Amino acid sequence: MINIAIFVSGSGSNCENLIKYFAGSQRVNCALVVSNKADAYALVRAQNHGVPTAVTPKPQLNDADVMLPLLRQYHIDFIVLAGFLPLVPDFLIDAYPRRIINIHPALLPKYGGKGMWGHHVHEAVKAAGETETGMTVHYVTPVCDSGEIIAQFRCPLSPDDTVDDIAEKEHQLEMAHFPHVVDQCIATLSKREVLNATF
Ligand code: GRF
C-alpha cells in the first residue's frame, strides 16, 4: 500500500475528492491530511471520512524535526498538494524526490507563481481575454509552480464567462481528472523506489 499525505490550506474539495476516489483502493491509502491552517474546512472533510489530520502552521511546516517525524509516523510515501498555499520547504522536496505533486488552476506556465492562487488566477485569465483555461498537475520543486508538468486538461471559455464561470469550469476539470492523475502517477512508482525515499 502506498500511503499518501494530502496537504491543504482551505476548503478541501479536491482533498475530499481524493479521499473518496481512493476509499477501498488496494494500492493507495489516504493516510494523513496536513493543513497549515487550523480552521481549514478540509480538516472537517477529512475527519468526516475518518482520515487522520495534523495542523502545522508555517514555523512547524518549515521545521524538519517536526515534519519528517510526522510523515514517518504515518509511513507517508507520496505527498499531494491540493490547495496548499505555503512554499514547500527544501528538506521535504529532498526527502520526497519526484514524490510531491501539486494541482494548479490554470494552464501553466501561464498564470503561475507568487500571488497566482484561487480567484486571482481566474481574474487574470478573464482580464487577458483567454479563450481557454484549464488545470495543471506538476511536480513540486523549490520554485513555485515551476516543476515538470505531469498532465494538463483544458476547457473553452466564451467572452460572456464571468470570473465565477471560469472558476466553475476549471473546478469541474479538477473534480473529473485530478484523482486519476494522482493514481497514474503513483502507479508509475515502484514500491522499491518509494521505500528508498531518502529520509
Ligand atoms: C484548487 O483550485 C486548486 O487547483 C488550487 O487551489 C484550489 C483548492 O480548492 N491549488 P479546494 O481547497 O480543493 O476546494
- The C-alpha torsion from 60 through 100 and 30 to 34, rounded to 10°, is 20
What mean pLDDT do residues 137-163 have? 96
Q: Whose CA is nearest to atom 14 of ligand 1?
A: 13
Mutation test of ligand 1: which of 19, 84, 100, 174 has the most ligand atoms closer than 8 Å to its C-beta? 174
Q: Please say whether the beta carbons of 96 and 7 come within 8 A.
A: no
Distance from chain centroid for Cα 160:
30
**Integer CA distances (angstroms), 133 to 39, 116, 162, 169, in order:** 30, 14, 13, 8
C-alpha cell at 57: 502552521
Q: Which residues line ligand 1 (CB under 6 A)?
A: 10-15, 42, 82-83, 103-105, 174
pLDDT at 194 over 90: no
Residue positions annotated with a catalytic role: 104
**Integer CA distances (angstroms), 31 to 6, 35, 147, 156, 166, in order:** 8, 14, 25, 36, 32
pLDDT tens digits, one per residue of 94-126: 999 999 999 999 999 999 999 999 999 999 999
Q: Please say whether the beta carbons of 129 and 158 come within 8 A.
A: no
- Ligand 1 nearest atom to the CA of residue 135, by list position: 4
What mean pLDDT do residues 175-182 have? 98
Q: Please say whether the beta carbons of 29 and 3 come within 8 A.
A: yes
How many A from CA of 83 to the centre of ligand 1? 4
Residue type, 131: T
What's the DSSP call for residue 53? Answer: E
pLDDT at 86: 96
Mutation test of ligand 1: which of 84, 103, 163, 178 has the most ligand atoms closer than 8 Å to its C-beta? 103
| Nearest one of 42, 32, 31 to 9, comparing CA atoms | 42
Rounded percentage of the chain residues whose pLDDT exceeds 90: 93
Dist CA 169 CA 128 (whole Å): 17
Q: 61 Cβ partners below 8 Å, 6+ apart?
A: 36, 67, 86, 89
- Could you identify the residue written with the cell 478573464? 126
Q: Model's pTM, two decimal places?
A: 0.94
Distance from chain centroid for Cα 195:
21
How many A from CA of 5 to the centre of ligand 1? 16
